[in-house]
């Protein structure tokens, strides 16, 4: 198993700090997520049904009905490469580590292009180009026009563009989800998640936007009732809550700016609305320094990158500020 964010239990054992004492900044999940209401008993008792309104709510939120609900976008990350003909895939890296592993396991030849621009991936002349937008962990964004041009270029040579948009909800205008799998971009595949922006990682709901053929193949591979009934109900309600979404976008942008300013003395940073990534050769030392003070971050060894999510409350902000003030390299 690859290393991920979270893991407070393991961190508590390693550092001898009680789990409830930790400030967990390791995941990039919105710490003030959508408020989940009580659900009707029938949602827990009945098998999931596809006519419960989830697909319609998702089509409205994302602007595209060419979708398939998933038990987390991780399901597509692990399964999609096995559905596509084996070939070479150019991947802009460093990237969420589940992506390259899944493509290699499925027999594809991986070309990991570290710190490379999108144009370099296109020059690699591979059938598949894979990236995250904004990138996880570097926070590097890709412009929508550039990605659309890349999809067109790949389509002209029979290729595919796969974009993981797990962290894009705070800036929906940058998303390609509305076009993926439609006649305008049949070779474009987009993955989305409710775990980050909505703060609903535990319900394990995501979506793939792709051609009908790919969606059908993936649905057959996942089998019936892939997304649990309570998860479907919560996802539908969250996607329909436009008032909460708008307020969350405003709040997250402000919190991200605060975090970016707080981390600036430690070195160069790049920010999304949900996390800030610090680039420094002292990333490993800083990870240990913060962990000893009950602050869990995400170190992308061997990359010189340390990612920070947003504190959940003012006490968390003060805990982080005090630790930064105590750092003396």
Q: Which of 98, 96, 137, 130 is nearest to 111 (CA)?
A: 130
Please classify residue 106 by burial: count the beta carbons closer than 10 Å to its beta carbon, then call 0-12 exposed, 13-18 middle and 19+ buried.
middle
Same domain, 82 and 217: yes
| Interhelix angle 8-15/283-291, nearest 10 degrees | 80
* pLDDT score, position 12: 87
Same domain, 105 and 12: no
Spatial neighbors of 212 by CB under 8 A, at least 6 apart, are 66, 181
Same domain, 77 and 183: yes
Same domain, 199 and 169: yes
**pLDDT tens-digit map of 137-162:** 999 999 999 999 999 999 999 999 99
| 276, part of any domain | yes
Instruction: Please say which residue of 215, 240, 265 terminates a domain.
Output: 240
Q: 3-class SS at 197?
A: coil
Residue 230 has pLDDT above 80, yes or no: yes
Q: 3-class SS at 205?
A: coil
As beta bridge partners, residue 69 has 207
Same domain, 93 and 233: yes
* pLDDT score, position 8: 86
Instruction: Please say which residue of 240, 263, 282 terminates a domain.
Output: 240
Please state the rounded mean pLDDT for residues 84-96: 96
Please state the rounded mean pLDDT for residues 243-265: 98
Please state the rounded mean pLDDT for residues 251-280: 98
**pLDDT tens-digit map of 289-301:** 999 999 999 999 8
Same domain, 192 and 267: no
φ/ψ of residue 11, rounded to 5: -65, -40
Same domain, 75 and 185: yes
Same domain, 91 and 193: yes
**pLDDT tens-digit map of 269-316:** 999 999 999 999 999 999 999 999 999 999 998 999 999 999 999 999
Spatial neighbors of 208 by CB under 8 A, at least 6 apart, are 67, 68, 70, 73, 76, 80, 189, 190, 191, 192, 214, 215, 218
Q: Could you give the CA distance from residue 314 to residue 285 in angstroms, rounded to a whole number?
A: 26
| 41, part of any domain | no
| 196, part of any domain | yes
Residue appearing with tokens 């995941």:
27
* pLDDT score, position 4: 63
Spatial neighbors of 321 by CB under 8 A, at least 6 apart, are 262
Please state the rounded mean pLDDT for residues 49-78: 97
| 34, part of any domain | no
**pLDDT tens-digit map of 170-226:** 999 999 999 999 999 999 999 999 999 999 999 999 999 999 999 999 999 999 999
Q: Could you give the CA distance from residue 23 to residue 8 in angstroms, rounded to a whole number?
A: 9
* pLDDT score, position 329: 82
Same domain, 118 and 182: yes
| 89, part of any domain | yes
Residue appearing with tokens 């998640």:
193
| 169, part of any domain | yes
Q: Which of 84, 92, 138, 132 is nearest to 112 (CA)?
A: 92
Alpha-carbon Rg for the chain in angstroms: 20
DSSP symbol at 89 = E
Same domain, 193 and 295: no
Q: Could you give the CA distance from residue 254 to residue 248 in angstroms, rounded to a whole number?
A: 10
Q: Could you give the CA distance from residue 107 to residue 140 in angstroms, rounded to a whole number?
A: 28
Share of the chain above pLDDT 70, in %: 98
| 35, part of any domain | no
- CATH code of the domain containing 290: 3.90.1150.10
Find the domain containing 159 and state its range.
48-240
DSSP symbol at 172 = G
Instruction: Please say which residue of 240, 263, 291 terminates a domain.
Output: 240
Residue 17 has pLDDT above 80, yes or no: yes
DSSP symbol at 202 = G
* pLDDT score, position 1: 54
Domain count of the fold of the chain:
2
Share of the chain above pLDDT 90, in %: 95
Q: What is the mean pLDDT of the chain?
A: 96
φ/ψ of residue 322, rounded to 5: -65, -40
| 42, part of any domain | no
Same domain, 71 and 194: yes
* pLDDT score, position 9: 85
* pLDDT score, position 132: 98
Same domain, 64 and 86: yes
- CATH code of the domain containing 138: 3.40.640.10
| pLDDT confidence band for 3 (50 / 70 / 90) | low
- Transcribe 250-268 into DSSP letters: HHHHHHHHHHHHHHGGGS-
Please state the rounded mean pLDDT for residues 250-259: 98
Residue 168 has pLDDT above 90, yes or no: yes
Residue appearing with tokens 């999940």:
29
């Amino acid at each position: 198993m690859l290393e991920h964010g979270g893991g407070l239990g393991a961190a508590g054992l390693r550092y001898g700090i009680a789990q409830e004492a930790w400030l967990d900044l390791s995941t990039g999940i919105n710490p003030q997520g959508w408020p989940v209401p009580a659900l009707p008993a029938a949602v827990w008792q009945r098998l999931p049904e596809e006519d419960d309104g989830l697909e319609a709510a998702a089509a409205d939120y994302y602007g595209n009905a060419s979708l398939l609900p998933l038990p987390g976008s991780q399901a597509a990350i692990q399964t999609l490469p096995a559905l596509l003909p084996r070939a070479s895939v150019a991947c802009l890296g460093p990237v969420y580590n589940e992506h390259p592993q899944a493509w290699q396991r499925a027999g594809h030849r991986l070309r990991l292009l570290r710190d490379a621009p999108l144009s370099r991936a296109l020059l690699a002349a591979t059938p598949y180009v894979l990236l995250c937008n904004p990138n996880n962990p570097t926070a590097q964004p890709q412009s929508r026009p550039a990605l659309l041009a890349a999809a067109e270029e790949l389509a002209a040579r029979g290729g595919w563009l796969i974009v993981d948009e797990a962290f894009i909800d705070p800036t929906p205008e940058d998303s390609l989800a509305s076009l993926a799998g439609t006649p305008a971009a049949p070779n474009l595949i987009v993955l989305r998640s409710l775990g980050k922006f909505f703060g609903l990682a535990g319900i394990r709901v995501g979506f793939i936007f792709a051609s009908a053929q790919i969606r059908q193949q993936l649905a057959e591979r996942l089998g019936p009732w892939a997304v649990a009934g309570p998860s479907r109900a919560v996802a539908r309600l969250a996607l329909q809550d436009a008032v909460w979404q708008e307020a969350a976008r405003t709040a997250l942008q402000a919190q991200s700016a605060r975090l970016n300013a707080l981390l600036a003395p430690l070195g160069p940073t790049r920010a999304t609305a949900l996390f800030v990534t610090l680039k420094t050769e002292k990333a490993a030392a800083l990870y240990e320094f913060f962990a000893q003070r009950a602050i869990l971050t995400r170190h992308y060894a061997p990359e010189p990158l340390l990612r920070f999510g947003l504190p959940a409350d003012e006490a968390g902000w003060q805990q982080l500020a005090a630790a930064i003030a105590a750092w003396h390299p």
